[in-house]
Amino acid sequence: MYLYNSATHKKEEFQTHTPGRVEMYTCGPTVYHYAHIGNLRSYIMEDVLEKFLRYEGYDVNRVMNITDVGHLASDADTGEDKMLKGAKRENKSVMDIAKFYTDAFFDDCAKLNIKTPEVVQPATGLIDEFIRVVSGLIDKGYAYVAGGNVYFDTSRLDHYYVFNDHDEEDLAVGVREGVEEDQNKRNKNDFVLWFTKSKFEDQALKWDSPWGVGYPGWHIECSCISMKFNGEYLDLHCGGVDNAFPHHTNEIAQSEAYLGHPWCAQWFHVHHLNTNSGKMSKSKGEFLTVSLLEEKGYDPLAYRFFCLQSHYRKGLVFSWENLDNAAGAYNKLVKRIAALKGGDGEIDREAAARFKEKFLTQVGNDLNTSMGITCLYDVLKAPVNDVTKRAVLADFDQVLSLSLLEKAAQLREKEAAQAKTSGADGFTIQGEGDPAIDALVLQRAQAKKAKNFAEADRIRDELKAQGIEVTDVPGGAVWKRI
């Protein structure tokens, strides 16, 4: 597999520290509010990436944090703690808010077929680990105490800006609009590892530390959680592109300073979901959630399909018209799969292997999910039997997770329940609404009524040859494809 590496700015062959095993880390949600569908685009693409790696044969250990303390309104260590903000908004405790929105996040993930990582660690459950690592950074000379807080000293680094060659003045905390300069910092790019009450008197969650009662900074939690559950060498770190600076930049700085060696080889950043008015965010009023999509009648998997039609490194523009188009295409795809015949035919193993090889090549080219979708249509158009098509589609859906065969089965059941045809003398036929099949079922019934059992058996065999099973019921018959 080849992936674009945000740290090197080029597409590279994916390699791991331990052959056959992937240590993968995902920046999880700050659980002070519902996740909007822009947030969830990143988790969808990361989910596909994990499943594709498993499809290729890797053993994947995926770790994700839950931020329930320390993430301030500004990513540059200023403003109110987002968790406290949510608690005040709803007049609840911070931990009540955290539990409610953590559960809501995973409910949304389930609706979008996003797999839960092997390890999910709330920040508040690992405070001792944060204190241990911060103490280690002080001992190594990479951190200092000032004004009661602990700061990382970026001047100790040879190279701080990892992902982009930013103009330092543009990124300087003291000159960015709306961001107040922290007079305790030795350098404008230094960041907080541990806050104390000297900075925020009203913080809801506080713990004892060697530097006073306080709480961890946002950046330190991800480094510590990954080092604890992924080990000292991380193969793949994922997140939204807005996390590249300062969050991921700071993670690299503190992790490599603490470990004394390179930490993460591959960085995977998903670009924004935008509206026509710009980037989607909770503060702009464009607060679109999975629940809202459902209220408007959309299947959440139609949104997943919408995301997979685009490349993760391209901004994706959301509009209701665009979602309608994606939902229409998804429903048509499911309908085509529902029309495939069942039966006991043999799977064409050679053809299936060719399909899989193409899928691995196409999707393995920097997680090109749009080409993965194209592979589905290629299978449907291919001159192979329907048994092979169904098997290959199910195989691909291990990665795409669009529930294609499940949705197709549901559609067939729905159509079967709705499709009833009345024949002579009130004889009722229930099937999938195929007039030619209905006519044969009716002819069979009429032959049986006339005691022409040979003709009835002939029609039954003809139906069976077409993959149709007929069951007689009082007043009619029910048929289905097998």
Give the domain-ending residue among 412, 435, 463: 412
Residue 397: inside a domain: yes
Residue 243 shares a structural domain with residue 333: no
**Is residue 441, in this structure, part of any structural domain at all?**
yes
pLDDT at 140: 98
CA-CA distance, 29 to 65, in Å (whole number)?
8
Tokens of 161: 């800006």
Residue 282 belongs to a domain: no
Q: Is residue 192 part of a domain?
A: yes
Residues 298 and 406 both lie in one domain? yes
Establish if 369 belongs to a structural domain. yes
Asked if 259 and 396 sit in the same domain, the reply is: no
- Lay out the sheet containing 149-152: strands in order across: 143-146, 149-152, 191-196, 214-216
In a domain, 471, yes or no: yes
- Name the pairing type of β-strands 191-196 and 214-216: antiparallel
Reduced to 3 states, what is the DSSP secondary structure of residue 209? Answer: coil
One domain for residues 361 and 448: no
Give the end of a domain, one of 390, 412, 434: 412
- Give the pLDDT confidence score for residue 459 in this predicted structure: 93
Task: Output the domain CATH number for residue 134.
Answer: 3.40.50.620
357 and 454 inside one domain: no
Strands in 125-259 per DSSP E:
143-146, 149-152, 191-196, 214-216, 234-240
Q: What is the pLDDT of residue 178?
A: 41
What does R_g of the chain's alpha carbons equal in angstroms? Answer: 28
Looking at the structure, do residues 216 and 94 belong to the same domain, yes or no? yes
Structural domain count of the chain: 3
pLDDT at 422: 59
Q: Are residues 238 and 305 in the same domain?
A: no
Residues 6 or more apart in contact with residue 380 via CB below 8 angstroms = 336, 337, 389, 393
* Within a domain: 280: no
Cα–chain center distance at 366 = 16
Instruction: Count other Cβ atoms within 10 Å, centred on residue 349.
Output: 10
pLDDT of residue 429: 84
- Is the domain of 110 the same as that of 249? yes
CATH code at 345? 1.20.120.1910
pLDDT along the chain (482 residues), means of 10: 96 97 96 92 98 98 90 59 74 85 96 98 96 98 94 94 58 40 86 81 82 92 97 97 93 98 97 77 69 95 98 94 97 95 85 98 98 98 95 98 96 72 70 83 90 92 91 87 82
**pLDDT (0 to 100) of residue 286:** 53
Task: Give the domain range for residue 231.
Answer: 2-270
Provide the pLDDT for residue 436: 86
185 and 61 within one domain: yes
- Tell me: do 178 and 239 sit in the same domain: yes
Residue 240 located in a structural domain? yes
Last residue of a domain, one of 378, 393, 412: 412
| pLDDT value of residue 86 | 78
* Residues 407, 428 within the same domain: no
Burial readout 231-249 (b: 16 or more C-beta within 10 A, e: otherwise): eebbbbbbbbbbbbbbbbb
If asked whether residues 442 and 373 sit together in one domain, one would say no
Distance CA 338, CA 362 (A): 25
